[in-house]
Amino acid sequence: MNNYYKEYFENMKIKESIMDGIICVDGVVGVGKSTLGKLIAEKYSMIFFEEPVVNNPILDKFYYDKKRYSFPLQIFFLNKRFKAMKEAAKINKCVMDRSIYGDVIFSRMLMEDGDMTHEEFELYEELLYNMLEHIQKPKLMIYLETSVDSAMEKIKKRGREYELVVTRGYWESLNANYRAYFESYNISDILKINVDNMDFVSNFEDKEHILKLIDNKIKEIENQTK
């Protein structure tokens, strides 16, 4: 697994220039990406780009028939993420809930699990690499780390029916893939935050703490460019 993501970043041809106003928030399902993204957008007066799970005609079907819907779902997400990055680049003051850079995690898992054929994955991968050649690097990538138990607890509280039918094994595999991906991630500055014992929704101190971590990281990046 680790070797694949290392090769992924080695093979990626991405523009060297940085989108100075783009922050990406990533992490496994249920970790709190959308919540944190909105907090960051509010703090820095940025536009929040939500992940395209609303009005997604394929997502519900995918969880009940992965072999049929894996490839079209990943193409749907890839297309939407590419479009979002192009729009964000024009605005250049945005927070992204997930992004095109890490989209490969899900497709790779689907191929390894046999829900996407090798031919489909190769086609997806070629399309992704072609798109990335037209994308700049983000200013900052924020990776929210969590345990499987913590993520599953949040997923249960959220109560989305199509997520509740997913086995623990899938969430364990997803978490392992995320950790492997971010061990190799090297295209921008990154801030890793473990949120297992944090509640930045209801707890004011946790909210202030995580925003302070982000603020300090942004200042550190800006000082490096002076």
Domain CATH for 192: 3.40.50.300
Catalytic annotation, residues: 97
pLDDT at 162: 65
Q: In this structure, is residue 120 part of a structural domain? A: yes
> Is residue 50 included in any domain, yes or no?
yes
Q: Are 99 and 142 a contacting pair, CB within 8 Å?
A: no
Give the annotated binding-site residues.
Answer: 27-35, 51, 63, 74, 98, 103, 163
pLDDT at 51: 84
Question: Tell me, what's the pLDDT at 54?
Answer: 67
The H helix count followed by the E strand count for the chain is 10, 5
How many CB atoms neighbour CB 23 within 10 A? 26
Q: Examine residue 168 and state whether it is found in any structural domain, yes or no.
A: yes
| The pLDDT value given to residue 169 | 86
Q: What pLDDT is recorded for position 154?
A: 77
Chain length of the chain: 226
According to the model, what pLDDT value does residue 2 have? 60
Q: Is residue 177 part of a domain?
A: yes
Which structural domain range is residue 117 located in? 2-9+19-221
In a domain, 14, yes or no: no
Residue 167: the pLDDT is 76
Q: Could you give the 3-state DSSP secondary structure of residue 138?
A: strand
226 in a structural domain: no
First to last CA, the chain: 38
What gap in Å lies between CA 70 and CA 207, rounded to an integer?
36
C-alpha angle 190-191-196 in degrees, rounded to nearest 5 = 140
pLDDT tens for the chain, 226 residues long, are: 668 999 999 999 999 899 999 999 999 887 889 999 999 999 999 999 988 776 788 888 887 888 999 999 999 999 999 999 999 999 989 999 999 999 999 999 999 999 999 999 999 999 999 999 999 999 999 999 998 888 778 777 776 766 766 778 888 898 999 999 999 999 999 999 999 988 888 888 999 999 999 999 999 999 887 6
Instruction: For residue 208, tell me if it sits in a domain.
Output: yes
Whether 125 is covered by a domain: the verdict is: yes
Domain count, the chain: 1
For the full predicted model, state whether its pTM sits above 0.85. yes
Annotated binding site for ATP: 27-35
